Amino acid sequence: MALPASAVRAFEPPPQPEREAPARTTCPRRHSRVEAELAASRPGSVAASVGAGPPRGVSDEFNSRPLLEKPRKASSSLAGAACAPLFALLSRRRRRRMHVLRRRWDLGSLCRALLTRGLAALGHSLKHVLCSIFSKIFGPLASVGNMDEKSNKLLLALVMLFLFAVIVLQYVCPGTECQLLRLQAFSSPVPDPYRSEDESSARFVPRYNFTRSDLLRKVDFDIKGDDLIVFLHIQKTGGTTFGRHLVRNIQLEQPCECRVGQKKCTCHRPGKRETWLFSRFSTGWSCGLHADWTELTSCVPSVVDGKRDSRLRPSRWRIFQNLDAASKDKRGSPNTNAGANSPSSTKARNTSKSGKNFHYITILRDPVSRYLSEWRHVQRGATWKASLHVCDGRPPTSEELPSCYTGDDWSGCPLKEFMDCPYNLANNRQVRMLSDLTLVGCYNLSVMPEKQRNKVLLESAKSNLKRMAFFGLTEFQRKTQYLFEKTFNMNFISPFTQYNTTRASSVEINEEIQKRIEGLNFLDMELYSYAKDLFLQRYQFMRQKDHQEARRKRQEQRRFLKGRLLQTHFLSQGQGQSQNQNQNQSQNANPNANQNLTQNLTQNLVQNLTQSSSQKENRKSAKQNAGKEQNDSTSSGTNDYIGSVEKWR
């Protein structure tokens, strides 16, 4: 039985008023969320949740497709049932992407909100602090309203100044290097750079006995006179770096002029157009590419005597002419006597006809590292074909010095092939370039047996190295700098840098290959051991000498201060006695007392005069005997050092 319409209306629930949308807030994201929730709560209006638009940061293409996301809070089962099949139509990848984008968007908005609120709170607190400070200082002079405006302007100015300072600091000194350097400078004292340079033990035990003249290297280098430094550059020993230090890193009255894009620099003496340095970066390869001891000792005097130092760049035929003219004096039968390399002969080679003094210097390196570095350099295409190898006035023939490769270069050669070549000049290169090759017949191997030849070459290299003005080691950069400065009395601007990682260190070799390289360079191994021992003994001797000089200066200062204090004490005591005597004379009229007082005065005056005269005589004798005392101190220091060496042995 059908009910009437009025009855049906009576049983129906009263209609509920529709929810009005809240007022639009300032946040668009919150408004879109509220609209989406209201649309989802209404039955039959599922698409309204999709029409809310994508979140901020999501492209429009994402919303153009019929993609529906399950609402966070479904107000009715009908809305959830309607959204579930639509959301299930999406692929798993799409749903995961929607969740990730929504999560990122929420996190980014949260961070931005926290940052803005934090900055606002910080600015507000700074404003109140500055306002309170200015109100206490300038309260009587300004009103509160003006104070707020001034504080705002001041706060803005301070913030801008801080940002500008940060930008400038990051531009000038990026990173935290400057801050760390400042902290280190204020926190701890500067350590000794020479002790922490290498990983060797602090106590060095010498193996060879050297005299005082061998250990003490002090060259009176006159840069304004006729002295000339000759740099013997051995391949792959760090000579390029040291050569750049010589022309760019020395404190001089007239520094070397180095132009951009040019390898050579002009190193003239002060007030003259003559060079004081004979090296690759000052005069070029004037005696040939990487000229050895035999070439330099014959070529440099002829070049210097034949041309001005400012034009030390002869042509190839000029080099042969100079070497031929220099070898005419000693040409004849090949001299195989080791005594030809005596100190008198080397001294004669260190001077020229014009009276110039030549001071030879060089750099050595560990033979295994140097050999591997040269192999890597040859792999990249280096040949050194321009080297002359002139000995006794002529270059070697192809039979005396055959080539290890047939093409233009030896690029890409493996290490085994590099070691298998019996004519490879990389084998024992340091001994060959430091010895006098005229003693063994140059490159003619048939002059004497191989064993005798090796012995003569090694002894010649040792004697030449010991009589050189200076030599350094690549493995001890700071000690090399120290000894050079003490030898030539020339200081570098910036300290040397010790590089522990090189191309040779990157080559991984096993123990068998290392032993084979040491066997191929057995002469260089013995020479390097000798050079390292001499180098470290020279370093210790010079450091001990510096400590003794510093101690002697401190003692002299103490004596001088003690004498000044005694002199002022006697003067004040004499003035006090004279005042007392004058008072006694005015009070006592007894003649005997006056006589005693006069005797005391005369005695005091005589004592003061004798003391002053004795002090003057002592000063004169100290000035006269300063050199003698210095020699005695150095000799005593040398005896102590040699005695300690004997104890260590």
Q: Which residue has the tokens 């004379």?
A: 585
First to last CA, the chain: 131
The three-point CA angle 400-406-410 to 5° equals: 100
User: Is the Cβ–Cβ distance between 143 and 96 less than 8 Å?
Assistant: no
* Nearest CA-CA partner of 238 in 360, 364, 361, 359: 364
Residue 574: other Cβ atoms inside 10 A: 15
| C-alpha span between 526 and 624 (Å, rounded) | 47
Q: Which two tokens stand for residue 548?
A: 């003794």
Q: Which of 233, 245, 268, 290 is catalytic?
A: 290
Q: Is 547 a catalytic residue?
A: no
Backbone angles phi, psi at 360, to 5 degrees: -85, 135
Give me the long-range contacts of 480-489 (CB less than 8 A, separation at least 24). 480/242, 480/363, 482/194, 482/539, 482/542, 483/217, 483/535, 483/538, 483/539, 483/542, 484/361, 486/217, 486/218, 486/542, 487/217, 487/218, 487/219, 488/219, 488/221, 488/229, 488/359, 489/219, 489/221
Crossing angle of the two packed helices 77-88 and 28-41, in degrees rounded to 10: 110
Spatial contact of 237 and 363, defined as CB atoms under 8 Å apart? yes
Q: Phi and psi dihedrals of 627, rounded to 5? A: -65, -40
Q: Residue 465 contacts by C-beta under 8 Å, 6 or more apart in sequence?
A: 362, 364, 434, 471, 527, 530, 531, 534
Residue among 535, 526, 541, 292 at smallest CA distance from 432: 292
Lookup: tokens for 480: 């090399």
- The residues near 382 (Cβ < 8 Å, ≥ 6 apart) are 409
| Helix 144-172 vs helix 92-138: crossing angle, to nearest 10 | 120
Number of Cβ within 10 Å of residue 217's Cβ equals 18
- Judge contact between 358 and 352, C-beta under 8 A: yes
Q: CA-based angle 379:372:428, to the nearest 5?
A: 110
How far apart are the C-alpha atoms of 253 and 454, rounded to whole Å? 45
Contact residues for 203 (Cβ-Cβ < 8 A; gap 6+): none
Cβ atoms of 102 and 55 within 8 Å: the answer is: yes
| Rounded Cα–Cα distance for residues 637 and 639 (Å) | 5
d(CA 27, CA 338): 98
Give the SS3 label for residue 120: helix
Q: Which residues are catalytic?
A: 290
